[in-house]
Amino acid sequence: MKRALGFAYLALFVLGLIHFLSPRLEAQNRTWNTSDQPLDGACFYLDADYRGDSFCMNAGESRRNVDARLNDRISSVRVFGRAQVLVYEDENFGGASTTIAGDVSNLRDWNDKITAIQVQYDRTAFSGSGNDPQNGACFYLDADYRGERFCMNGGESRQNVDARLNDKISSVRVFGRIQVIVYENENFGGASTTFAGDVPNLRAWNDKITAIQVQYDRTAFSGSGNDPQNGACFYLDADYRGERFCVDSDESQQSLEGRYNDRISSIRIFGRAGVTVYEDENFNGSRRTFDQDVPNLSDWNDRITSFQVSGSPYRGQYGGQYGGQFGGRDSGYEPRNGACFYLDSDHRGDSFCMNAGEDLRNLEARFNDKISSIRFFGRARVVVHEDESFRGDSKTFTGDVSNLGNLNDRITSIEVR
């Protein structure tokens, strides 16, 4: 009798354990975004043959550091639509890198090594008649704009042209308000030169190009009345004097050319724009955000190397403190895909919003350790961290949070995906 009871208790225990583990086992075999594959983008899988947990990114998005659950654990990649993927071994797009232009069922040499990712539009899609970019440039393997080509839009850059095209470009076509800077070495190193128009034969630069920056030609805003409607102008001298260049909102420059690098002294802002300036190239180093004219940059005089111009800063609601840093939101703005962060619970009090794909390494004093609730819009995922630079205790949210509980007034850095 005792033995029978023992078996009965054991059977009940096993059944209970199976019931307890079954949802977890099911979750391990469930991918995150099976119904949300991007039209142009890529999905990344923990296991070979596109199995196991996964996450997806749209073309134009990047991750400086894949979160701990997936860091150095990606084994296969699927590419959708007009996209290509650059993967890096180290955070902040450092270390060895490679480009993936199609599905890879087994990463082999790159298995479990990926830490940072950039998902770009594959410019080879600009291949047919009539598909030239409005403002951009196309690069051809042969002289006189013949042979295989790829195209890039204004504001884009490539630190390393992939192996198929590296040191093989022979002619360049320039469209719209654009200039092109080409470099002999990767990461914009070595000798360089600038093209402002079509080049049917690169001659001295034939088969030598490894890195490329496609920039808006700032001299197009040169005469009276040519100020941008929404954008900014940068001047070499204080009080809006001296040589200048202007940009429209939503444009950026990863590295100012030698003529303007570390030489800007004043900025004028037009319309509903905001400007974030950086001390180093690629939007690195110290930074500062402006949402109104600056006749004298004072401590930022002759220090600007890269910048981002947003569409509409946080005017009025925050006194411009966060203007342009996240693309900018007026009071009442709701992002299509993103999240808003509030000082008080139940989505009340001062707030700021971020689009999916944006992050903030360190909240400024007004919001640091003061966020109490979060609202979600569209398809977004938020990772909040207790310390700056995405360190310390963290938690992921995928839906509205009216009260952050034990994370109330503890958030210092944020990632929105």
| Secondary structure class of 186 (helix, strand, coil) | helix
Looking at the domain assignment, is residue 18 inside a domain? Answer: no
DSSP state letters, 360-390: ESS--TTTTT---EEEEESS--EEEEEEGGG
Read off the pLDDT of each residue in 157-171 and give the average, rounded to a whole number.
85
- Which amino acid is it at 186? E
| Secondary structure class of 155 (helix, strand, coil) | coil
| Secondary structure class of 280 (helix, strand, coil) | strand
23 or 268, greater pLDDT: 268
Looking at the domain assignment, is residue 1 inside a domain? Answer: no
199/129 same-domain check: yes
Query: What Rg do the C-alpha atoms of the chain give, in angstroms?
Result: 25
324/257 same-domain check: yes
Question: CA–CA separation, 86 vs 116, rounded Å?
Answer: 8
Asked which of 68, 87, 121 is the last residue of a domain, the reply is 121
Structural tokens at position 412: 């210092």
87/137 same-domain check: no
Q: Are 313 and 324 in contact (CB under 8 A)?
A: yes
Looking at the domain assignment, is residue 312 inside a domain? Answer: yes
Question: CA–CA separation, 352 vs 315, rounded Å?
Answer: 11
225/319 same-domain check: yes
Looking at the domain assignment, is residue 361 inside a domain? Answer: yes
pLDDT at 255 over 60: yes
Question: CA–CA separation, 112 vs 401, rounded Å?
Answer: 33
The predicted-structure confidence for 368-381, as pLDDT tens digits, reads as follows 899 999 989 888 89
Q: Are 358 and 416 in contact (CB under 8 A)?
A: yes
191/243 same-domain check: no
Looking at the domain assignment, is residue 195 inside a domain? Answer: yes
207/233 same-domain check: no
345/292 same-domain check: no
| Secondary structure class of 207 (helix, strand, coil) | coil
Percent of the chain predicted with pLDDT > 70: 80
Q: What pLDDT, on the 0 to 100 scale, is given for residue 8?
A: 55
Q: State the DSSP H helix or E strand holding residue 94, giving kind and residue range, or none if neither.
A: strand 94-100
211/267 same-domain check: no
Q: What pLDDT, on the 0 to 100 scale, is given for residue 130?
A: 45
Structural tokens at position 131: 């598909």
Closest CA to 213 of 178, 265, 165: 178
Asked which of 216, 242, 261 is the last residue of a domain, the reply is 216
Number of domains in the chain: 4
**Whole-number mean pLDDT of the chain?**
78
Phi, psi at 223, each rounded to 5°: -100, 175
395/312 same-domain check: no
The predicted-structure confidence for 264-308, as pLDDT tens digits, reads as follows 999 988 877 788 899 988 888 888 888 778 889 988 999 999 888
Q: Please, which residues have CB within 8 angstroms of residue 300's CB and are 6 or more apart in sequence?
A: 277, 288
Asked which of 121, 147, 176 is the last residue of a domain, the reply is 121
Euclidean distance between the first and the last CA atom of the chain, given in angstroms as a whole number: 59
CA-to-CA separations, 297 to 210, 243, 266, 304, in angstroms, rounded: 35, 16, 6, 10
135/96 same-domain check: no
Question: CA–CA separation, 165 vs 150, rounded Å?
Answer: 9
What is the domain extent for residue 206? Answer: 124-216
Q: What pLDDT, on the 0 to 100 scale, is given for residue 309?
A: 85
99/128 same-domain check: no
Q: Are 312 and 272 in contact (CB under 8 A)?
A: yes
Read off the pLDDT of each residue in 138-148 and give the average, rounded to a whole number.
87
Q: Are 340 and 285 in contact (CB under 8 A)?
A: no
| C-beta neighbour count of 362 within 10 angstroms | 12
319/370 same-domain check: no
Looking at the domain assignment, is residue 176 inside a domain? Answer: yes
Looking at the domain assignment, is residue 6 inside a domain? Answer: no
| C-beta neighbour count of 384 within 10 angstroms | 24
Q: What pLDDT, on the 0 to 100 scale, is given for residue 34?
A: 40
The CATH number given to whatever domain includes residue 405 is 2.60.20.10
Q: What pLDDT, on the 0 to 100 scale, is given for residue 292?
A: 78
Strands 231-237 and 189-195: unpaired
Q: Are 68 and 55 in contact (CB under 8 A)?
A: no
Looking at the domain assignment, is residue 3 inside a domain? Answer: no
The pLDDT confidence band at residue 5, using thresholds 50, 70 and 90, is low
